[in-house]
Amino acid sequence: MKSIASAPGKVILFGEHFVVYGVKAILCAIDKRITATTQFLDEPKIRIKSELGNAEMDVDTPLDLNSISTRFMKPFFYIVKETLREFNEKKGVEVVLKSDIPAGIGLGSSSAACVAVTASVVGLFDKKSKEQVLKKSIESERIIFEDVSGADSSVSTFGGLMAYDKNGFEKIYSKNNLSLIIANSNQVHDTREIVLKVREFKNKNEKMFADMCKQEKELVREALLRLKENDLNKLGSLISENQKLLKKINVSTDKLDFLIKEASKTSYGAKITGAGGGGCVISLVDESNATTTLENLKKISDCFIAKIDFDGLRYLQSK
Ligand code: PMV
């Protein structure tokens, strides 16, 4: 019997970077998913297969995280090992991952993978609540990135829109479905490095940065109201205002600026999503301007249209 679960990726609509300094950020799950299919094996092995590579280890070998060469695989081995231990199971397990979330560009693919793998592995034994799946998947992410906020996994588990800050997460109850065009700059970025650069900027420009945090806080406050009203014109201009602040803290690049300039010609508004320094740009559209914006951005980037995913974690099949 196979146990199958899938979980969505995410984008940050407002508040990246400023969230590190206490401002609320808004993110949403997108309709691009990772699916994990798990089954028992006759041999005592744990085998992980994905489009990005395969890895395996013996069931009895203690989990030595340094020995697993592929960094992104570590949480998956942790999840399988912990679950086998919990249920006192000696059989081997194979997990196969299939993804339609491009990896490594800030769309939450690692967190979605941890959520899907947790649900599918645990699903071999027992169907756990979303809260329990989320807890275990955050635990698994912490073994490679101790400071992970849990925001990506939370929105991936529960779907929809979410506001978060240092004090926690808050579901935004809005069924308005936004359409976003996500354009990949194809510039690689390192979130930690960029967060550190922003800290340096803040330390050199304390007063200016404090003012910017105030402006961002106001943008987010207004965005929460406009999301409920589905006012795309206003939301689009708030997105563009947010981009001005991101540009001021130097997380944009020439390529990102160019994508945003082109996207802004026809969409309601466009900005970086996530850490910046590369990664992706989002533009807000609806049926009136989606095709023109997409066609234009296709000439200069890899891009696709996404909508909000309201389901979060889905169990497709379990024992
Ligand atoms: O690039 P992403 O999607 O991992 O987002 C990073 C968001 C930051 O605000 C820049 C950092 C953080 O920890 O919140």
Domain boundaries, the chain: 2-175, 179-307
Q: Which of residues 173 and 117 earns the better pLDDT score?
A: 117
CA 243 to CA 300: how far, in whole Å?
Answer: 20
Identify any residues that bridge with 5 across adjacent strands, giving them in sequence order: 36, 315
16 CB under 6 A from ligand 1?
Answer: yes
143 CB under 6 A from ligand 1?
Answer: no
The pLDDT of residue 255: 97
Angle at 102 between CA 284 and CA 64, to 5 degrees: 135
Ligand 1: which of 195, 199, 271 to mutate, most ligand atoms within 8 Å of CB?
195
- Average pLDDT (190-208) is 94
Query: Is the per-residue pLDDT at 175 higher than 80?
Result: no
- Average pLDDT (173-179) is 84
Report the atom number in ligand 1 closest to the C-alpha of 11: 3
The dihedrals phi and psi of 77, each to the nearest 5 degrees, come to -65, -40
| Kind plus residue range of the DSSP H or E element containing 22 | none
5 CB under 6 A from ligand 1?
Answer: no
> Of 3.40.640.10, 1.10.10.10, 3.30.230.10, 3.40.190.10, which CATH number belongs to 2-175?
3.30.230.10
Ligand 1: which of 16, 26, 166, 249 to mutate, most ligand atoms within 8 Å of CB?
16
Report the atom number in ligand 1 closest to the C-alpha of 195: 10
Considering only CA atoms, give the Rg of the chain.
20
* Cα distance from N-terminal residue to C-terminal residue, the chain: 6
Torsion 62-65-70-71 (CA) sign:
positive
Query: Is the per-residue pLDDT at 247 higher than 90?
Result: yes
Report the atom number in ligand 1 closest to the C-alpha of 149: 13
216 CB under 6 A from ligand 1?
Answer: no
Residue 163 three-state SS: strand
Band (pLDDT 50/70/90 cuts) for residue 63 is confident
Sole residue written with tokens 């389901």: 311
For residue 76, the CA-to-ligand 1 centroid distance in Å is 22
**Exposure letters 206-240 (e unless 16+ CB within 10 A, then b):** eeebeebbebbeebbebbbebbeeebbebbbbbbb
The percent of residues in the chain predicted with pLDDT above 70, rounded, is 99
The pLDDT of residue 188: 86
Report the atom number in ligand 1 closest to the C-alpha of 15: 9
Report the atom number in ligand 1 closest to the C-alpha of 194: 10
The pLDDT of residue 319: 58
The percent of residues in the chain predicted with pLDDT above 90, rounded, is 82
The pLDDT of residue 293: 98
75 CB under 6 A from ligand 1?
Answer: no
pLDDT tens-digit readout, 103-116: 888 899 999 999 99
pLDDT tens-digit readout, 253-307: 999 999 999 999 999 999 999 999 999 999 999 999 999 999 999 999 999 999 9
Band (pLDDT 50/70/90 cuts) for residue 97 is very high
148 CB under 6 A from ligand 1?
Answer: no
Band (pLDDT 50/70/90 cuts) for residue 149 is confident
| Kind plus residue range of the DSSP H or E element containing 154 | helix 151-158
Q: For all residues of the chain together, what is the average pLDDT? A: 94
For residue 12, the CA-to-ligand 1 centroid distance in Å is 8
- Average pLDDT (226-252) is 96
Fold designation for 179-307? Alpha-Beta Plaits (3.30.70)
For residue 35, the CA-to-ligand 1 centroid distance in Å is 23
Report the atom number in ligand 1 closest to the C-alpha of 251: 10
Q: Identify the top-confidence range among 121-130, 148-157, 163-172, 300-309.
A: 300-309
The pLDDT of residue 297: 98
User: Do 269 and 283 form a contact (C-beta atoms < 8 A)?
Assistant: yes
- Average pLDDT (135-145) is 91
The pLDDT of residue 86: 93
Report the atom number in ligand 1 closest to the C-alpha of 147: 13
Query: Is the per-residue pLDDT at 318 higher than 70?
Result: no
149 CB under 6 A from ligand 1?
Answer: yes
pLDDT tens-digit readout, 1-43: 899 999 999 999 999 999 999 999 999 999 999 999 999 999 9
275 CB under 6 A from ligand 1?
Answer: yes
The CA-atom distances, in angstroms, between 135 and each of 3, 22, 127, 237 are 19, 23, 14, 36
274 CB under 6 A from ligand 1?
Answer: yes
User: Do 95 and 64 form a contact (C-beta atoms < 8 A)?
Assistant: no
Ligand 1: which of 10, 12, 152 to mutate, most ligand atoms within 8 Å of CB?
12
